[in-house]
Structure 1
């Protein structure tokens, strides 16, 4: 850090002292700590280094190219597979689609060649990499599977077979880490239900869109009536497993109890039928000895009357699942806070590891979700964040800003692979001989290995240095150039250069199989 740059930690302390701190009353900070940890990784890295001359040269060329291409968030919607309001997606549908997409956006690389690797057939084409995931989701929705609705993930319809069908491959190679993806969907569904599900009133509204059967005990063959005990439980008790059947609505604490008899529902005591009349004696002496007893009420249930009092609509569309919307609203339009909320509640977003004796946070996919919302809604509505510039280069993203015509046959890989590769090609990153040999030999590096952490952390810090250099040379760019757009651009540039070279860049990307990117 140079003498003329502000100390981020000092700035945070000043914000706290002025009551504009990033720690609100609920205790969730808007400071992710990712940039600070990335700097720590860089300062202690021995196998990955950042060249200052290469950084300055890259900053100049990247800025000029971004100006020429007029990069903006609008390009996100130009991706032909991304959900759009014009495709009959509602805003809530888009939020849920993006959340599902980013829950599962990891590890698409394959050791097989282009023709044998995992591919998805959709709209007359075959899709690979990140695009294959989005194609699966679009195809599933069109086939009538609510795969992007969190409520579906915890239903009985969401079986392993159903998910295998949604994510089916057009080749012999299945989607990488499919078991992990299915487990993540179900884990996320449970967390959303527990922490962000609709309140009781909203859930009760859902009863109007779900048929709840009225079950009564069969009438007694002699009296054509039901006992008081059986009649009561025919309405108020649900048999084991029934409420858990597909389509049944549930309250947070258990099955919905359909209390179909209103307080004013009274019994017509004029309609009295003596039980077991045929079994009683007809001898006058016996009748005279009998003591008068109060008439037994007829508690048989009039299903038509109850149905009229509690009319159930079977034609209404399902109530929108707004659990993810509630998660977003809890962030108070803070990108950093939403990232931290994701990391706090969802283990699959808690992208943390240890490096050189210290815990470091990278939080790649959590930042991707926020960036996708920002880009999809063009910084408005659910995508409005007052601190979007606080996001770092979050290694691992699709080419949101790449022109559509360039994406047709490109192999899509997350930028935790591609950005380090591009930075190395630009002369920003340099590698130790042992690491360079490992990359060129195409051998896998385990998740959490020091090499992998150095590649990721130094890439984040290098992009931050590039951003700072651009802003220093072009102050007006401070409002337009952030780490999100730089990340997109570096991915695009890597793909364009690779396509122009007819294959991979000189140094292959690293290969790590994990859920983090």
Structure 2
């Protein structure tokens, strides 16, 4: 059995040879997050307020989010390759725009009966970009993921992810374990120096997105939402390095700056992702400590968790993309993030 993501991050950080956590940087981010809590830049409402996300009143919301997070991986392009864009959006939001467009065109992208047998031609059309020459990366892998998860939902859960949630007694941990057990393409595990570790980026973001969409109520009510860690991808590490919370060894930095693709499951990849998890765990703990120290802030410790910190730092990276461009990200062709 693989260690859960929090324990995996802690273990990887303790054994890491090429990625290091710096406490001064952790504190710097904690103060930034605290300020964000005061201004509501860090807040559960921010997910559902984005125009490309489904809202809690849409009866398709759960299955819509499930499709998004089934396809939510690997948007980067090499060098000068044309970026895939939809309605002017890049990356994850381009995916959101494509799925929203498909839903409004009455293409049944939230129905597993449809996407469990979707053809690559149909999927290519649904995910078509603004520029015909720029295609979404890993299209065949995305098709395979849809077929796999759609088949499971149709055969075991009466064609809706809602029934997966209802089977888990308002437990984020139970839902996370159900997802990675039943849906193989979410099973983000690897061996790190003889230890079986998990990162579970997409499975965790699925739980986190449901929680955020429903603002922690109804189908998004999870009594143990704190079990969810940050979503270890290739963008948040840029922010962590920028603030000095994470540092790379010179050999690893040279590798990243050269644009060399890392092997999925390699030591370097796992150290970047595992240390990212541990950094955000420490940031969260520091923020909660500050909230206890300054009761006049009128904040509660429950106002801050790893999900909200992740959302905030991911948005920070988008807002400061030019400023962070000089910090390399690790390039891995993977369905896991």
- Regarding TM over 0.5, the answer is yes
Paired position in structure 1 for 2:145: 184
SS of match in other structure, 1:360: strand
Q: CA deviation at 1:196?
A: 1.5
SS of match in other structure, 1:359: strand
Paired position in structure 2 for 1:81: 52
Q: CA separation of 1:181/1:50 partners in 2, compared to 1, >3 Å: closer, same or farther?
A: same
Paired position in structure 2 for 1:238: none
Q: CA separation of 1:69/1:505 partners in 2, compared to 1, >3 Å: closer, same or farther?
A: farther
Paired position in structure 2 for 1:50: 21
Please give the root-mean-square deviation of Cα atoms over the aligned residues, in Å: 1.9
Measure, in 2, the Cα distance between the counterparts of 1:82 and 1:426. Answer: 29
Partners of 2:179 and 2:203 within 8 A in 1:
yes
Measure, in 1, the Cα distance between the counterparts of 2:88 and 2:306. Answer: 31
SS of match in other structure, 2:235: helix
User: Is residue 276 of structure 2 the alignment partner of residue 459 of structure 1?
Assistant: yes
User: Is residue 177 of structure 2 the alignment partner of residue 340 of structure 1?
Assistant: yes
User: Is residue 231 of structure 2 the alignment partner of residue 394 of structure 1?
Assistant: yes
Paired position in structure 2 for 1:139: 101
Paired position in structure 2 for 1:331: 168
Partners of 1:419 and 1:491 within 8 A in 2:
yes
Q: CA deviation at 1:85?
A: 5.3
Paired position in structure 2 for 1:33: 4
Q: CA separation of 1:372/1:32 partners in 2, compared to 1, >3 Å: closer, same or farther?
A: farther
Report Cα offsets for 1:93-120 as digits up to 9, x if no partner: 0011000000000000112548x22122
Q: CA deviation at 1:143?
A: 2.1
Paired position in structure 1 for 2:295: none
Q: CA separation of 1:154/1:68 partners in 2, compared to 1, >3 Å: closer, same or farther?
A: closer
Residue number among 73, 76, 95 corresponding to 1:109 in the alignment: 76
User: Is residue 302 of structure 2 the alignment partner of residue 479 of structure 1?
Assistant: yes
Q: CA separation of 1:113/1:333 partners in 2, compared to 1, >3 Å: closer, same or farther?
A: same
Q: CA deviation at 1:194?
A: 2.7
Paired position in structure 1 for 2:296: none
Residue number among 62, 78, 84 corresponding to 1:118 in the alignment: 84
Paired position in structure 1 for 2:249: 432
Measure, in 2, the Cα distance between the counterparts of 1:138 and 1:118. Answer: 16
Partners of 2:165 and 2:219 within 8 A in 1:
yes
Paired position in structure 1 for 2:115: 153
Q: CA separation of 1:418/1:160 partners in 2, compared to 1, >3 Å: closer, same or farther?
A: closer
Q: CA separation of 1:495/1:169 partners in 2, compared to 1, >3 Å: closer, same or farther?
A: closer
SS of match in other structure, 2:234: helix
Partners of 1:32 and 1:340 within 8 A in 2:
no
Partners of 1:32 and 1:336 within 8 A in 2:
no
Partners of 2:9 and 2:275 within 8 A in 1:
yes
Residue number among 473, 488, 502 corresponding to 2:311 in the alignment: 488
Unaligned stretches of 5+ in structure 2?
A: 293-298
Report Cα offsets for 1:416-454 as digits up to 9, x if no partner: 112111111111111100111112222211211111100
Measure, in 2, the Cα distance between the counterparts of 1:55 and 1:350. Answer: 29
How high is the TM-score relative to the length of structure 1?
A: 0.61
Measure, in 2, the Cα distance between the counterparts of 1:42 and 1:480. Answer: 26
Measure, in 2, the Cα distance between the counterparts of 1:380 and 1:32. Answer: 29
How many residues get paired? 330
Give structure 1 regions of 4+ aligned residues with deviation exceeding 6 angstroms: none
Residue number among 76, 91, 96 corresponding to 2:63 in the alignment: 96
Q: CA deviation at 1:33?
A: 1.8
Q: CA deviation at 1:80?
A: 1.3
Structure label with greater radius of gyration: 1
Q: CA separation of 1:420/1:468 partners in 2, compared to 1, >3 Å: closer, same or farther?
A: same
Measure, in 1, the Cα distance between the counterparts of 2:229 and 2:304. Answer: 12
Relative contact order, CA 8 A, sep 6+: which one is greater?
2
Report Cα offsets for 1:196-239 as digits up to 9, x if no partner: 22xxxxxxxxxxxxxxxxxxxxxxxxxxxxxxxxxxxxxxxxxx
Measure, in 2, the Cα distance between the counterparts of 1:173 and 1:341. Answer: 35
User: Is residue 23 of structure 2 the alignment partner of residue 61 of structure 1?
Assistant: no
Partners of 2:36 and 2:42 within 8 A in 1:
no
Partners of 2:77 and 2:83 within 8 A in 1:
yes
